Amino acid sequence: MNHIDASQRLSTAEVARLAGVHKDTLLRWLRAGLVREPHRDRHGWRYFTPAEAQAVVNFAQSSTEATQPLVLVAGEPLTPYLGKLAAIDWDFADAKTSYLTHGIHPYPAKFIPQIPNALIQELSSVGDTVADIFCGSGTTLVEALTLKRHAVGIDANPLACLISKSKTTVISESEALDLLALAQRARTLGDSLLPTGEDDLFPAPRFVSTAWRPAFDKLDFWFEPPVIEELAEALAWCREFAGELARNLALTAFSAIVVAVSKQDSDTRYVRRDKNIPTGETLRRFARSLEQATRAAVEFSQLVEPRFRCEVIAANLLDLPEIPRLDLVVCSPPYPNAYSYHLYHMTRMVWLGMDQPKFKRDEIGSHRKYSSNSRNGATAQTFKAEFARILRWLAGSLKPSGYACFVVGDSTLKGQRIHNADLISEAGQAAGFVEAMRIDRTMQASKKAFNPTIGKIKTENILILENRGGRT
Ligand SMILES: C[S@@+](CC[C@H](N)C(=O)[O-])C[C@H]1O[C@@H](n2cnc3c(N)ncnc32)[C@H](O)[C@@H]1O
């Protein structure tokens, strides 16, 4: 091992070299809290004192994870790497989860970025194509791009596709300035609005949205009249952006506040509750959301190299869409009877003019299809058959011996516990996959992947299937 000079200040890359690991591995250890964060210089760059560097070297020498370098060779079974994956603490109990663009839009049951980050690092190489076939809000895609992989995301929910595109957008400085100017415009107008009654005395500000409202007969049921006016105004401004990237980001920032200013109780509770949102507050919230999204997008844009591409495909997987050849899949699939994204996102989709009824028909696992009084009568076998179809399709696009990772919990159907990892694994066998590994992880209470009224599940599985079929 190299000697560390007591007067040195070392960069992350230098310390990684001394520790004998890749820089990305050291960054993951830092994110996961496995080694302590070092100092930062006035530009925000990390630097390590000799003592801090020595601590990393010591950790690298003591950790099983660090002492077993992983070299993936196509065609070899996963077994040699099991020790490496098993050594990771998958609970990531104190890890930060909303860095970069991860926090710009809420999304029920999104997984923590540390999970796809670790799987991508261990099971793929720089330049590979990593897909999330149920990409939701794009967590895997963000991690893949920052780890220098190409990314492919698929989702049947058009809102998921919008968020995923925005979170992986590389924007220019002029686009960022335009977005921040819009945020300022929204704040200024929000601050100038007066509560109903007082506005009789003063001329009302001119709204560009005039009489446009989304075609939705329950608009007044879910929104207060001033909130409707302010949302319509903010949306009209977002649509004025000629460039698609900036427009998507503005629309995502808009969508991020819709549930909070509506009467919908929360992102995962579709019941009505009065919130008494003050006049002007909707525009002020939009301003904050847009500023946050823009800053995050700028930070992401500085980090990601443009040569790594991201493709987001809006499609129902059961329609077996065309996709590129993949090296790795990392996803958290929908679970039977757990979530109803078409319901939780209803008001957002209505405002954004998205085809919510189509997504309602396409959505796998929704509570509507699996609840005991459902006319659809879906069962665990329905879910397994859907996965058999999806995995047969996937086997044709995932490289031979490539891995497909599913972060999945159990669910409760008609009082019975359903082990979804078993169902997916069995469906995989019929499609030419073998189960290579299964890891249990504990979820933090606030990050439960299940609606607590349906099933209080606190653990989930990371199921890793290896493609033994497929095209060569
Ligand atoms: C658990 S979420 C994924 C969350 C994602 N891992 C994240 O971090 O944001 C499951 C996703 O599956 C999508 N989905 C459900 N049915 C689908 C279908 N038939 N085809 C494609 N996607 C579907 C849902 O829209 C939802 O976004």
Residue in 134, 141, 125, 139 with CA at minimum distance from that of residue 156: 134
Share of the chain above pLDDT 90, in %: 62
Give the pLDDT score at 263: 95
Confidence of residue 67 (pLDDT cuts 50, 70, 90): very low
Residue ranges of the chain that CATH labels 1.10.1660.10: 12-67
- In the structure, which protein residues have their CB atom closer than 6 angstroms to any atom of ligand 1? 107, 109-111, 134, 136-137, 139, 154-157, 160, 316-318, 332, 334, 341, 362-364
Q: How close is the Cα of 334 to the center of ligand 1, in Å?
A: 6
Q: Is the dihedral of CA 361, 396, 322, 111 positive or negative?
A: positive
Give the pLDDT score at 197: 59
Q: Which atom of ligand 1 is nearest to the CA of 160?
A: 27
Share of the chain above pLDDT 70, in %: 87
Closest C-alpha to ligand 1, atom 7 = 110
Quick check: 88 pLDDT over 70?
yes
CATH class of 79-158+309-340+358-467: alpha beta
Mean pLDDT of 211-219: 88
Give the pLDDT score at 371: 77
For residues 148 and 436, what is the distance between their CA atoms, to the nearest angstrom?
25
The reported pTM is 0.82
Give the pLDDT score at 451: 45
For residues 138 and 135, what is the distance between their CA atoms, to the nearest angstrom?
5
Q: How close is the Cα of 112 to the center of ligand 1, in Å?
A: 15
Mean pLDDT of 223-237: 94
Give the pLDDT score at 241: 94
Q: Which atom of ligand 1 is nearest to the CA of 362?
A: 19
Range in 142-151, 174-183, 392-401, 456-465 the model is least confident about: 456-465
Range in 114-128, 195-209, 295-309, 329-343 the model is least confident about: 195-209
Confidence of residue 337 (pLDDT cuts 50, 70, 90): confident
What's the DSSP call for residue 331?
E
Q: How close is the Cα of 52 to the center of ligand 1, in Å?
A: 41
Q: How close is the Cα of 202 to the center of ligand 1, in Å?
A: 48
450 vs 426, higher pLDDT: 426
For residues 244 and 258, what is the distance between their CA atoms, to the nearest angstrom?
21
For residues 134 and 157, what is the distance between their CA atoms, to the nearest angstrom?
9
Q: Which atom of ligand 1 is nearest to the CA of 132?
A: 6
Quick check: 248 pLDDT over 50?
yes
Q: How close is the Cα of 160 to the center of ligand 1, in Å?
A: 8
Q: How close is the Cα of 390 to the center of ligand 1, in Å?
A: 13
For residues 116 and 103, what is the distance between their CA atoms, to the nearest angstrom?
16
Give the pLDDT score at 80: 52
Instruction: Report DSSP letters for 25-54, one per residue.
Output: HHHHHHHTTSS---EE-TTS-EEB-HHHHH
Average model confidence (pLDDT) for the chain? 87
Burial class (CB in 10 A: 0-12, 13-18, 19+), 23: middle
- Residue 381 has, within 13 A of its CA and on its CB side, a CA count of 1
Quick check: 199 pLDDT over 60?
no
Give the pLDDT score at 444: 66
Residue ranges of the chain that CATH labels 3.40.50.150: 79-158+309-340+358-467
Range in 142-151, 181-190, 398-407, 444-453 the model is least confident about: 444-453
For residue range 263-276, what is the model confidence (pLDDT) as tens digits?
Answer: 999 888 888 999 99
Q: CA-CA distances (angstroms) from residue 320 to 12, 132, 181, 237, 427?
A: 43, 14, 42, 37, 16
CATH code of 12-67, in short, is: 1.10.1660.10
Give the pLDDT score at 455: 47
For residue range 299-336, what is the model confidence (pLDDT) as tens digits?
Answer: 999 999 989 999 999 999 999 999 999 999 999 999 88
Tell how strand 264-266 and strand 269-272 pair up. Answer: antiparallel
